[in-house]
Chain A
Amino acid sequence: EAGVTQFPSHSVIEKGQTVTLRCDPISGHDNLYWYRRVMGKEIKFLLHFVKESKQDESGMPNNRFLAERTGGTYSTLKVQPAELEDSGVYFCASSQSTEHMVNEQFFGPGTRLTVL
């Protein structure tokens, strides 16, 4: 079974440019999460989709970040315009949907974003 995949694996852009990250969750996983790790800091939650709906977007840093999951399959995270502090590794994770349990979140390999 294929795991969570992310594209691209690396992205180097200049400040002010736009970047779109893509995540394909494990097939059948309704829950999709985005996290970010800035160098030297903890992994931080960004947002959580259940199917195509945003369940929790409390971790989104500001309105330069836009996440979508049209159709409830893959998700995109767009940063526009990118700033230097947006550099880091963006992880996507997915999990099955179970009402009363915290299911394991499976992580993708991450996209390493560098903003110059």
Chain B
Amino acid sequence: RKEVEQDPGPFNVPEGATVAFNCTYSNSASQSFFWYRQDCRKEPKLLMSVYSSGNEDGRFTAQLNRASQYISLLIRDSKLSDSATYLCVVAPAGNNRKLIWGLGTSLAVNP
């Protein structure tokens, strides 16, 4: 079983749509959680950290369910510029700088 699992997609949505990505992780002792964004042939960039209480940054909302070992990312009012791969990332307990990556979910927002 992979340490971090994501639906690879692709998700094809029209502009303005709401889209949700899910991610599960296998290590129940994991400590820190993130969503990264990666554009084609570019480096990954931190989109947002995910906190236990859930957090929002503009059109983006992240949720964490520790009991189910599940992380989600919701994008509202999708823009063309949101087209990218979204990577779910987990840092294990005891070594919170070693990042464990999901395969990524591909999103294409269409006009």
A residues bordering B, Cβ < 8 Å?
31, 33, 35, 41-45, 48, 55-56, 58-59, 91, 95, 102, 104-105, 107-110
Does B43 belong to the interface (CB within 8 Å)? Answer: yes
> 30 A-B contacts, Cβ less than 8 Å apart?
A33-B97, A33-B99, A35-B101, A42-B2, A42-B4, A42-B102, A43-B44, A43-B87, A43-B99, A43-B101, A44-B101, A45-B99, A48-B97, A56-B95, A56-B97, A58-B98, A59-B98, A91-B44, A95-B97, A102-B32, A102-B96, A102-B97, A104-B46, A105-B97, A105-B99, A107-B43, A108-B43, A109-B42, A109-B43, A110-B43
Shortest Cβ gap from B98 to chain A (Å): 5
Query: Total A-B residue pairs with C-beta atoms closer than 8 Å?
Result: 47
4 tightest A-B CB contacts, nearest first:
A107-B43, A43-B101, A102-B32, A102-B96
Q: Is B45 an interface residue (CB 8 A)?
A: yes
How many Å from the CB of A3 to the closest CB on chain B? Answer: 9
* A105 neighbours in B (Cβ, 8 Å): 46, 97, 99
Distance between Cα atoms of A33 and B98 in the complex (Å): 8
Residues of B within 8 A of A45 (CB): 98-100
Instruction: Write the chain B residue with the least CB distance to A45.
Output: B98
Most buried by A among B91, B101, B104: B101
